[in-house]
Amino acid sequence: MTETEFYQLLQRYLDGHCTPAEQARVAAWYEQLHQVAAAPAPLPSQPAVEAAIWERLRLAPVAPPAAKPTPRLQRLTRDLWKQPPLRWAASLGLLALSLGLPYAWHWWPAAPVAASTEHGWTYYRNTTQQVQQVQLPDASRVTLQPGSRLRYAAALAGPRREVYLEGEAFFQVHKNPQRPFLVFTSQVVTTVLGTSFNVKAYPGQAQALVAVREGKVAVQLRATAQLDVTPTHPAKLGVLLLPNQQVVYSVASHYLKKELVDKPAVLVPQAFEFEERPVAEVFAALEKAYGVPIRYDRQKLAGCTVSITFYDEPLFEKLGLLCKSLGAYYTLADTQITIHSTGCQTGLAPPPS
């Protein structure tokens, strides 16, 4: 099934022209969709979910479940489809179900993983092929990826909440400024007071990575870590991360490299429709939306205007389109974007050799 065929299927269902097998697919989808609507975690960006689905397309057999649709189901589906926050989630959910794809996003209710206790330690081991949800004693939640393991001692008691990770996990930490939350891997220590972030540190890999979705995170090398630091008082040798930032640790160089995440998420939604607006206004909207500093020569671009509309493009694609319209180019250095331009002109300014 192609993407076009999928949307045609959905429209046929809403028009009442589906075959019994197609109706069964939609019925099974709806049984799952109400869980999405009730999920406490926010929906991820549409491009992220689309990428996850289409990545699995070639692996998925078509196996429509047997289910009987009802008029009430059709009415409820139509109503849900009209809700903007759920429209794309509904459509992508139907696509995934019709192709027999697994659900593996943070907002989807992951299966809980059973805990085991050994010598005073509590262990969670994800030996399945699906993400699994861990509820910690302090009300924090962890989404544990397949092949990953998490452990902690003494029910997280004490002045610091300390957990140990092998593999990859997404953390949604319950805020408690009096008791910092620390994630230990074999390479780095991540300290937070309450936020959401992802840690990837599989044994034997050449790199470890910590990426922040919201809040502040302090990252240090484990060998020299100061365990009493916090994001408000970070260590001099550590790295402080903000949303859309990540740090990559190289096992070979023992170095923490701070940079932007590959696909920065929108933090503060903005209107991205500009009709003969100053370039400075466009840059300001991008900075506010993504929380990323954009540097440029204000004098050279002072009189420049632009007409451009952005939709769901990733940040770097937006920048590429904007630079093309300005005859400019951009570079990345750590977590900063720099626009290089000789002024208002057409044609692409050549990057430095």
The segment with the largest mean pLDDT, out of 11-20, 85-94, 176-185, is 176-185
Question: Going by C-beta distance under 8 Å and a sequence separation of 6 or more, which residues neighbour residue 200?
Answer: 167, 168, 208, 209, 210, 211
Tell me whether strands 336-340 and 294-295 are parallel, antiparallel or unpaired: parallel
Q: Evaluate whether residue 106 is within a structural domain.
A: no
pLDDT in tens, 134-179: 999 999 999 999 999 999 998 898 899 999 999 999 999 999 989 9
Q: Which CATH number do you get for residue 328?
A: 3.55.50.30
Q: What's the token pair of residue 334?
A: 């750590």
Domain membership of residue 317 as a residue range: 273-340
- Are residues 289 and 249 part of one domain? no
pLDDT in tens, 166-177: 999 999 999 998
Q: What pLDDT is stored for residue 111 in this prediction? A: 63
- Tokens 């490299």 belong to 257
- Are residues 162 and 245 part of one domain? yes
Q: Evaluate whether residue 352 is within a structural domain.
A: no
Q: Evaluate whether residue 173 is within a structural domain.
A: yes
- Tell me the DSSP string of 79-97: HHHT-HHHHHHHHHHHHHH
- Are residues 134 and 31 part of one domain? no
If one counts the domains in the chain, the total is: 3
